[in-house]
Structure 1
């Protein structure tokens, strides 16, 4: 019984380390998003850290329009990054979960 428990604990620790490694790797995965007319371009990591923002000159003339563009484009970029992040981390976590009867929520 304790051997099984120790084996599960070891597997959980290994899975946790793999999840952390995946999160570090996601710092290098870049997500690009642009406004429909290309006047605003945003790049962020799959860990949702903004790396670059490029603003077209036409947007600099209208503060309200720029704010709207930033909100829309940032939200789209964050949604994409979140999807990549959650998919990658869930895949690693699912792979390393021990087979515990009744806990099949990750399958």
Structure 2
């Protein structure tokens, strides 16, 4: 019975830590670049686009497709950085816990 109470206490503690982690992740920001820094996208931890910077040299009618591709690439770069930061923070929190491989946290 004592083990069950201890387990319940740890579960509540973990739940609280996950809530804190989710708030921390929501405050994260990551910037991704494309075209050697000609396009930069900034995303929040919730993958919302917070900023977009485009070098003025790209504003030529002939380069619209290139600009579109660079924006997508910068967005994907920023998204990958946010995901990596989320994974790192989750691993820090769950260190030592027997969590099955492939299980994504926070829930």
TM above 0.5, one fold? yes
**Cα distance between partner residues in 1 of 2:24 and 2:86:** 10
Q: Any gaps of 5 or more consecutive residues in structure 1?
A: 98-102
Give the distance between the partners of 1:75 and 1:63, measured in 2 at CA: 19
Give the whole-Å Cα distance in 2 for the aligned partners of 1:104 and 1:26: 20
RCO comparison, higher one (Cα < 8 Å, 6+): 1
Q: Which residue of 2 aligns with 1:7?
A: 6
Aligned to 1:69: 70
Instruction: Assess if the C-alpha contact under 8 Å between 1:16 and 1:93 holds in 2.
Output: no
After superposition, give the CA deviation of every residue in 1:16-39 in whole Å (9 maximum; x if it has no partner): 211121121122222122224322
Report the CA distance shift for 1:82/1:34 in structure 2 as closer, same or farther (over 3 A): same
> TM-score normalised to the size of structure 1?
0.75
- Unaligned residue ranges in structure 2 (runs of 5+): 102-107
Tell me which residue corresponds to 2:51. Answer: 52
After superposition, the C-alpha distances for 1:63-93 in whole angstroms (9 at most, x for unaligned) are 2111110121111111111011011022213
TM-score in terms of structure 2 length: 0.75
